[in-house]
Amino acid sequence: MNGPRFAAAATALLLAACSTVPVAQQPGPQPVAAAAPAPAPTYRGPAEEAAAQAVERIRSIDPQLNSVIAIDPTWQEQARRIDAAGVRGPLAGKPVLIKDNIDTLGPLPTTAGSLALANNVTNRDSPLVARLRAAGAIIIGKTNLSEWANIRSSNSISGWSAVGGQTRNPYALDRNTCGSSSGSGAAVAAGLVSMAVGTETDGSITCPAAMNGVVGLKPTLGLIPRTHIVPISESQDTAGPMTATVAEAAAMLTVMAGSDPADPATREADTRKIDYAAALSPDALRGKRIGVLRFATGFGTNEAFDKALETLKAAGAELVEIKEFKGGNFGDAEFQVLLTEFKAGLNDYLKSSPAPLPARTLAEVIAFNQANAAREMPLFGQDIFEMAEKTKGLADPAYRKARADSLRMAGAEGIDRLLKQNNVVALVAPSRPAAWKIDAVHGDVSPGGNGVGSMAAVAGYPHLTVPMGMIRGLPVGISFFGPKWSDSLLLQLGFAYEQARGPLPAPRLLPSIEQSPEIAPALGRQLQPGN
C-alpha cells in the first residue's frame, strides 16, 4: 500500500519525518555513509567497475535521500564472480537495489523497515532475486520503504521506517516519495542505480515511480513469484521493476517472471512470459485504440496529461474519450481482504524465518511495538495492525465475500468493462498528482486522492507508469492499464510513448521546490513598501 491517510472506505489503499532516534543507535543495518570503503584493486572488470561506481554514488549522494538502508558487503565478490565467468546479457554486471521486504542471501537482514525484524537474516534468496543473480545482476543493497509496506497505521508517513528513517524525494528534499517502495523510486531517480525492485499491494510501485519520475511496472499478479517476501495480501501482492527506462523494466521482467512451485498464483507464468524487451518497438502505438480516463484527471495534471495525449496521437494512437464511469466502490471490501490476509500471511512468514526473531506472530509484533514505542512509534501508531489482529481468518465468510466482491468490481465490472464497452486495447490516465510535502504532524496529506490504479491492483491486472512531464519542477507520470496478462502490450505502448516524448529534467536535490530559481522570485514581495 502507499501514500495518503488510510481510510477503510477509500477507493484506494496505497502501500508506504525523520526518526527521533538516530539510526546509529538502532540494531540492524547502519547508515550507508558509515560503511568502510572497499580497498582499491589493481584491476577492475566491467561488472566490478559498475558496482564500485554505484557504491560510490550511494555513499556520496544517498545521505541526503535515505533511500538505501544498507549496502550489501558482498557486492565486490558478486561483481568479480560475474567478471570471471564472463556473464553476458542485458543484466550482466548491472547493479540492482532490492526493497527491504524481499529476502536476499548474505549477511543483510530483511527488515521491512521494522525494528522487530532488525536481525532477520534469512540467508535465502527470494526466487526473483535468485533469477536476477543468475542473469548477472549485482545485488548492491536494500532500499528503504514505508514500514511494513505502509499497512501499520492510518496516519503514516510514506517513506518512513524505524530502521531507515525518512526517504526524501530527489526533486525536492522536503517532498514525499510516496510508498511503499519509496527507496527504490528515489534511488533510481537520483541515478544511484538504474534498476531496482519494488513491491505493490495497491500503489506501492506505481505511486513512488510516478512521484519520483521513473518507470514502474506492477505486473499481472502471478507473473513474478512472491516466495520469501514479507507479505500483505496473497490476493494482491506482487513485485515489479522500477527503472530509469521502459527498456530496462522490460529486461528485468524477462528475467524475474516465471512459475514457482511454492507460489500457486504463478502456475501460468512459464506459459505466459515472453522476451519483453525483444517485443519493444517505437511504432507500437500506431493504430492502437486507447481509452482516455478523463474522469480520473485533474489535480494539477491536466496540462501535462493533455501534452502526453498529443504525443500519443502523433505516434499513431487512436484516442477514445471516456468521460465518466459508474463503477462499484470496492474500497471497504478491499480493506477487509487486506486486513484478513495480512494477519495470515505475516504469521506464516514470521514462522518461516530461520532468524532469531523477537516476534513470530502479528500479535507479538504489536506487543513488540508497544514495548519499544519510543523508537518504533514516535510519529504514528499501529491501528491497522490492531484491526488486522481482530480478523477471523481466511475461512471467514465475510472475508470470502469481500474478496469476491472487490475482484468482481475491479475486474469484470471495472477494467474489463471499460475496455469492452469502448472497444479499446488499453486505458491511460494520470498516475498521481505531484508529490506532497513530508508532514510529521498530520501524516500523508495527498491532493486528489489515490489515483485510479486501485482497479488494476485489486483485479491483479498490470499497470505501467511512465514519466510524462513536470508540475512546478515535480515529476508526474502517465499510467497504462490493460487486461490480465497484457504486460507486454503495456510495455510496448509505454516504450513507444517514452521514445516519442523525449527527455525530461533530472532531479536537482533542491531543499524545496519553493527555493528553486523558477519559483522563489514569485514568492517574494513584488512591490516594495511605499510603491
Catalytic positions: 99, 180, 204
Which among 273, 260, 267, 266 has a CA at the least distance from the CA of 222? 266
Residue 354, classified by CB atoms within 10 Å of its CB into exposed (0-12), middle (13-18) or buried (19+), is exposed
Q: DSSP letter for 180, please.
A: S
**Gap between the Cα atoms of 430 and 308, Å rounded:** 10
> In the structure grid, which three cell numbers stand for residue 85, read together?
565467468
DSSP classification of residue 37: P
Beta bridge partners of 198: 240
Closest CA to 69 of 165, 156, 196: 165
C-alpha–C-alpha distance, residues 411 and 427, integer Å? 14
Q: Angle of helix 487-501 relative to helix 302-314, nearest 10 degrees?
A: 100
Q: Give the span between the Cα atoms of 393 and 408, in whole angstroms.
A: 21
| C-alpha 508: how far from chain center | 21
DSSP per-residue string spanning 84-129: HHT--STTTT-EEEEETTB--SSS----TT-GGGTT-------HHH
Rounded Cα distance between 114 and 359, Å, is: 11
Maximum CA extent, the chain: 77
